[in-house]
Amino acid sequence: MAQETAEKGERIAKRMARAGLCSRREAERWIEEGRVKVGGRKISSPALNVTENDAITVDGKPLPAAEPTRLWRYHKTRGLITTSRDELGRDTIFDRLPKGLPRVVSVGRLDVNSEGLLLLTNDGGLARKLELPATGWVRRYRVRVYGRPDETALARLASGATVDGVRYGPVQARVDRAEGSNAWLTVSIREGKNREVRRVLEHIGLQVNRLIRTAYGPFQLGRLPKGGVEEVTGKVLRDQLGADVAPPSDRRAHRRR
């Protein structure tokens, strides 16, 4: 039976995430909903350690074996929701991914009106790790705004900002060019809170009308076509993450179906 101490095995939510079934947060919710059994017994708390010898089922099906960590770059388009399903029936990124891609989770989110680089992985534990501000990775965006940027106001964002009671960390922003009543900015953040770029810029009087993420840490959007998916090579994963990876059979970019 599963060991309930930290001396052996790993937390069951982490084990589920490593199987690529879901994120750790989703795994904890599934456990609380009574969807997970260990050794034939339903569990209700994620405070449980398991080993490779434990028989784990989710919704009556055996938990898949943990696979080597893999990571993909994906060019998200506007109008898609970054979630596995949407209560309003809107299209999600998972509805548009190419056939043949294994079950993946996203590293963070881009809201429905945002586009650009989104990282996907088969390892929910890795996704959670890369989302944490402690990772220190810069998220970089090209942002088109309505209004005339004030250089002094933009410079003040480097010290962070408080908007509607929410404290945001340092934001680096510079003006690239102006186009009539609009301007293009390059914006860099490290926290990635919900709608952070939009809210901080609106706070200084700029209305965001287009937002494209161009980089997430060392990973770049580059020339990946809209809707395209390209796997990150094992060497890059090892160099950047120290991940336990296996070489995939096909590194070519995939275009949206």
Active site residue ranges: 111
Cα separation, 66 vs 30, whole angstroms? 18
Say if CB 245 and CB 68 are below 8 A apart: yes
Amino acid identity for residue 97 in this structure = L
Which tokens is 12 given? 């069951």
Tell me the three state secondary structure of residue 128: helix
**How far apart (Å, rounded) are the C-alpha atoms in residues 255 and 98?**
7
Which ranges of 19-120 does DSSP label H, i.e. alpha helix? 24-32, 93-96
Q: What are phi and psi of 25, to 5 degrees?
A: -65, -45
Cβ contact 76:56 at 8 Å: no
